[in-house]
Amino acid sequence: MLESAELYFNVDHGYLEGLVRGCKASLLTQQDYINLVQCETLEDLKIHLQTTDYGNFLANQTNPLTVSKIDTEMRKKLCGEFDYFRNHSLEPLSTFFTYMTCSYMIDNVILLMNGALQKKSVKEILAKCHPLGRFTEMEAVNIAETTSDLFNAILVETPLAPFFQDCMSENTLDELNIELLRNKLYKFEADRRAFIITLNSFGTELSKEDRETLYPTCGKLHPEGLRLLAQVEDFDQMKRVADNYGVYKPLFEAVGGSGGKTLEDVFYEHEVQMNVLAFNRQFHYGVFYAYVKLKEQEMRNVVWIAECISQRHRTKINSYIPIL
């Protein structure tokens, strides 16, 4: 970026920043969640959502309403907003938006490859793919047998190509390798990923050296923390590593506390916090990322509540993660 880019920020991106802040103001509030939790049926949920900024987004759905319908419609709405942002953005913000779609693209590719392994039809899996991560070549993913195949044939022209350069191998794509590939590709949200990888690797045949190769090489943990993490064998040891970091210590302390939170929940909460904080500053692109992430969390919350309602599983309905 240029020196003192703040001065010129509004010339190019002022409109979009204003827009995204407006969109953020339309996120569901605590009061909305309290009302949503009281809903008896999905119809009630729909009626309450009508009074929020979601408006009539479910109006054209035929009865009976299902959770997946709500989910798809919400996704559609988010994608609509995202596409609007992207179509109206200028460089370098447009590149930033492209980067934002990368994680969804990676997820989609992995999903498709897993599907191909399990011999599922492409159409079935395509429905599950996140619409933000769609690209034309995506559906041909299943012709690849090795990662280099995948790269050379399909991904070389996509924005994903630079990510793949490091993980070319001639291994055949079995389930473990796909999972490894996914973890090698993700180079962002580094610290959380490192912790989660470590946690998930307990009790698997993944060797410590292999595990270390999966860690992203950035973030606060890099490099000492990662080296320590690589040697960790159980949760308590992991916690001891985290204790060295002021940011993560309280998070690990919160695990298992009130309501039996898992590490993932705690990280989600922390993420929401950080995303909300992103709006405290002006003139940066972080708000766009933060907005999409917050909206996603909101969708997860609504879907969670909707699931609880439809399965009549009210005891856990309150474990959504409030945003504002």
Partner 1 sequence: MASVFRSEEMCLSQLFLQVEAAYCCVAELGELGLVQFKDLNVNVNSFQRKFVNEVRRCESLERILRFLEDEMQNEITVQLPEKYPETPLPREMITLETILEKLEGELQEANQNQQALKKSFLELTELKYLLKKTQDFFETETNLTEDFFIEDTSGLLELRTVPAFVAGKLGFTAGVINRERMASFERLLWRVCRGNIYLKFSEMDTPLEDPVTKEEIKKNIFIIFYQGEQLRQKVKKICDGFRATIYPCPEPAAERREMLDGINVRLEDLITVITQTESHRQRLLQEAAANWHSWFTKVQKMKAVYHILNMCNIDVTQQCIIAEIWFPVADAGRIKKALEQGMELSGSSMVPIMTEVQSKTAPPTFNRTNKFTAGFQNIVDAYGVGSYREINPAPYTIITFPFLFAVMFGDCGHGIVMLLAALWMVLNEQRLLSQKSSNEIWNTFFSGRYLILLMGIFSIYTGLIYNDCFSKSFNIFGSSWSVRPMFRNGTWNTQIMKETEYLQLDPATPGVYSGNPYPFGIDPIWNLASNKLTFLNSYKMKMSVILGIVQMVFGIILSLFNHIYFRKTLNIILQFIPEMVFILCLFGYLLFMIVFKWCRYEARGSQHAPSILIHFINMFLFDYDDPSNAPLYEHQREVQTFLVIMALISVPWMLLIKPFILRANHRRAQLQSLMIQENATEDIEGGHSSPPGQRTSAGTQGAQDDHEEEEKRGRFADLLDAKYLRTTLQIWVIWLGISFAYYGVILASAELLERDLVCGSKPESQVAAVTAGDSEESQSPCHCHLFAPSDYRTMIISTVGEIALNPLNILGINFLGRRLSLAITMGCTALFFLLLNICTSSAGLIGFLFMLRALVAANFNTIYIYTAEVYPTTMRALGMGTSGSLCRIGAMVAPFISQVLMSASFLGALCLFSSVCVVCAISAFTLPIETKGRALQVSDTGLLSCHFLNLVGGYPSLK
Q: Which of 277, 282, 311, 313 binds partner 1 (CB under 8 A)?
A: 277
All residues at 6 or more sequence positions from 31 whose CB lies less than 8 Å from its CB, including other chains = none
- The residue (of 36 and 74) whose beta carbon lies closer to partner 1 is 36
CB of 281 to partner 1, least distance (A): 8
Residue with smaller CB distance to partner 1, 92 or 135: 135
Binding-site member from 110, 206, 228, 254 for partner 1 (CB under 8 A): 254
Minimum gap (Å) between residue 161 Cβ and partner 1: 13
* CB half-sphere exposure, 94, CA atoms < 13 A: 9
Q: Which amino acid is at 284?
A: H
Should residue 62 be labelled a site residue for partner 1 when binding is judged by CB under 8 A?
yes
**Rounded Cα–Cα distance for residues 298 and 322 (Å):** 8
Residue 189 interacts with partner 1 (CB under 8 A)? Answer: no
Is there a contact between 144 and 154 (Cβ–Cβ < 8 Å)?
A: yes
> CB–CB of 148/177 below 8 Å?
no
**Which of 203, 246 has the CB closer to partner 1?**
246
Q: CA-based angle 169:175:176, to the nearest 5?
A: 65
3-state SS track over 238-299: HHHHHCCCCCCHHHHHHCCCCCCCCHHHHHHHHHHHHHHHHCCCCCCCHHHHHHHHHHHHHH
**Which of 3, 4, 11, 60 lies at the binding interface for partner 1 (CB under 8 A)?**
60
**CB-based contacts of 200: which residues, under 8 Å, 6+ apart?**
none
Q: Which stretch binds partner 1 (CB under 8 A): 33-41, 93-101, 206-214, 229-237?
A: 33-41
The separation between the first and the last C-alpha atoms of the chain, rounded to the nearest angstrom, is 31
Q: Residue 128 or residue 208: which is nearer to partner 1 going by CB? A: 128
Per the CB < 8 A criterion, the answer to whether 149 and 167 are in contact is no
Q: Which residue among 11, 59, 91, 209 contacts partner 1 (CB under 8 A)?
A: 59
Using the rule CB under 8 A, is 53 a contact of partner 1? Answer: no
Sites for partner 1 among residues 118-137 (CB under 8 A): 122, 136-137
Q: Say which DSSP state 61 is in.
A: P
> What CA–CA distance (Å, rounded) separates 61 from 70?
9
Q: Which of 141, 167, 173, 221 binds partner 1 (CB under 8 A)?
A: 141
Q: How many residues interact with partner 1 (rule CB under 8 A)?
A: 42
Among residues 101, 103, 108, 142, which is the contact residue for partner 1, using CB under 8 A? 142
Cα 305 off chain centre by: 19
What is the DSSP secondary-structure string of 298-320?
HHHHHHHHHHHHHTT-GGGTT-S
Q: Nearer Cβ to partner 1, position 90 or 277?
A: 277
The maximal CA–CA distance of the chain, rounded, in angstroms, is 56
Q: Considering only 77-85, 197-205, 275-283, 302-310, which stretch makes contact with partner 1 by CB under 8 A?
A: 275-283
Q: Per CB under 8 A, which region of 9-17, 34-42, 89-97, 207-215 contacts partner 1?
A: 34-42
Cβ proximity to partner 1: between 52 and 319 the closer is 52
Dig out the tokens for 200 from the structure.
Answer: 């998930």
Query: Quick one: which segment of 101-109, 163-171, 196-204, 273-281 binds partner 1 (CB under 8 A)?
Result: 273-281
Q: Which residues ranging from 143 to 182 are in contact with partner 1 (CB under 8 A)?
A: 143, 152-154, 156-157
Identity of residue 26: S
Site of interaction with partner 1 (CB under 8 A): 35, 38-40, 43-45, 47-48, 50-51, 59-63, 122, 136-143, 152-154, 156-157, 246-247, 250-251, 254, 270, 273-274, 276-277, 280-281
